[in-house]
Amino acid sequence: MKHLFEPAKTPNAPTLVLFHGTGGTERDLLPLAGRIDPNAAVLSVRGNVLENGMPRFFRRLAEGVFDEEDLKLRTKETYDFLIDAAKEYKLDRSSFVAIGYSNGANIAGSLLFHYRDAFRKAILHHPMVPLRGLKLPDLSRVSVFIGAGTNDPICAPQETEELGALLTGAGASVEVHWERYGHQLTGSEVQAAANWYQGGK
Ligand code: MLT
């Protein structure tokens, strides 16, 4: 997959894996990486799907209606990419931390739903429930921060609660942070994610 890699600034630092929103690129979330962990390695991925020229991580049939077959296929494709990238750049797979926004949070969420070892931690900004009716893996070693909007027109608060409950039910430690700016990713939400991460959750 098209991506950008920046090595860690200190030995044994984790790897932040960045997933942009619809229409974004692998450069979009770089400022977030600097605020979350400036010493970390950065592996920032571009989605392989194009929707009217806009990069995404999987196809959708309509706004908020996912093409589930494509989502499953792209989830495996992305997981395989992470394994290959870890080998290529000599990264410790067990230190991978996802940071995703919107469509990028949804592919990161789908990776958590499918694989117990995809990420050690995940920061999901405005995610949805990626798939329903799936038996989740044991996520008891995984911590998740969810940034959500009480008035997000794309993801209703009930869906955020549902996602949190599904992840918690699989053993993950989950913190939900609420904002009131719709689907936007605000500076205060990024700060809350940084506080969560730096607090060692
Ligand atoms: C999605 O398609 O993943 C969600 O609707 C969010 C987005 O607009 O990208």
Cβ-based burial of 160 (10 A; exposed 0-12, middle 13-18, buried ≥19): buried
Q: What is the pLDDT of residue 201?
A: 60
Q: What is the pLDDT of residue 141?
A: 97
**pLDDT tens digit string along 142-190?**
999 999 999 999 999 999 999 999 999 999 999 999 999 999 999 999 9
Cβ atoms 116, 137 nearer than 8 A: yes
| Ligand 1 pocket, mutate which of 102, 160, 184 (most atoms under 8 A from CB) | 102
Query: So what's the pLDDT on residue 94?
Result: 96
pLDDT at res. 177: 98
Rounded CA-CA distance 5/25 in Å is: 13
* ipTM for this model: 0.93
Low-confidence ranges of the chain (pLDDT < 70): 201
Structure tokens at 6: 């920046």
pLDDT at 54: 97
Residue 171, both tokens: 């053993």
Catalytic residue among 44, 95, 102, 110: 102
Block residue for tokens 């392989």? 48
Fold of 3-198: Rossmann fold (3.40.50)
Answer for the pair 142, 120: CB distance below 8 angstroms, yes or no.
yes
What atom of ligand 1 comes closest to residue 107's alpha carbon? 3
The C-alpha atoms of residue 153 and residue 4 are separated, in whole angstroms, by 31
Helix or strand or coil: residue 13? coil
Is 183 noted as a catalytic residue in this protein? Answer: yes
Q: Which helix (H) or strand (E) holds 51?
A: strand 49-51
CA 62 / ligand 1 centre spacing (Å): 9
pLDDT of 200: 82
Length of the chain: 201
User: Domain residues of the chain, as ranges?
Assistant: 3-198
Is the minimum distance from the CB of 106 to ligand 1 under 6 angstroms? yes
